[in-house]
Structure 1
């Protein structure tokens, strides 16, 4: 019994030593670029407003609306967001006039469907989860690929395996 507990404890410690990523995961970056191109082909310009965030950058965002000026934009502290693991991006739309907007009803390509939801639909087809589907705090600009890993697994040092990458 002591041996099993020791092995589990050692594995837990060992996984914690895995460094945090420093950029978007290559598959997330590839799928994001694919999304941008697919939407451009449909007359919709997608702008990525945020991708990878360091723990420090996440903490600064967390303080917004709490101890610093502005509205609350996140409920995740540093290390609690998939942005910190390179697995999430935030997007907006760009109008023909060059204005970056977060208008979920805007139909810039004039096909009768909101551009925002066209982006979301295509993102989901590419394997992304949309923050607008979350219960409680809907995060409409947020897209993430978690490769089947929970936040707690990522915090313990788990990273997407080759098997998980091919499944997405």
Structure 2
């Protein structure tokens, strides 16, 4: 379990980075036009029409990026696993409520960060979590070279479903003993 790393926040952070960059560009060009009457960036861009177009483009990209960031943060949760519980954001749920985990897709990163796997987790009826949870996982560095040959989704899913089944049996036996 130590080799499993949830990286849903990392994926949302990429959108936030681009939103911040777009807002910064928009702010600099707007500041140049309003306060300095176009003198500050006169060396880079001679025409105020081009500056205005850059501001509009940066503003539109910032708005789309912000909407995408909010959607991703809403739809993709940070998930951690222990042998007895699953932590989703700030909520703790017993692993016995685990109904199924479905492998959705893998995203191969062009940077050195490796490959990310997208999963959906479903729970039996409970009062804590009612909807399906989507999250990204990254597996440890010892396995980085063998992503193509190692079936992470099946091993990951099998281990968690086995832990959930064992936990249900323990709780059932505990209920019979009382």
TM-score normalised to structure 1 length? 0.23
Larger fraction in strand: 2
Larger Rg: 2
Report the structure, 1 or 2, having the larger helix content: 2
TM-score by length of 2: 0.22
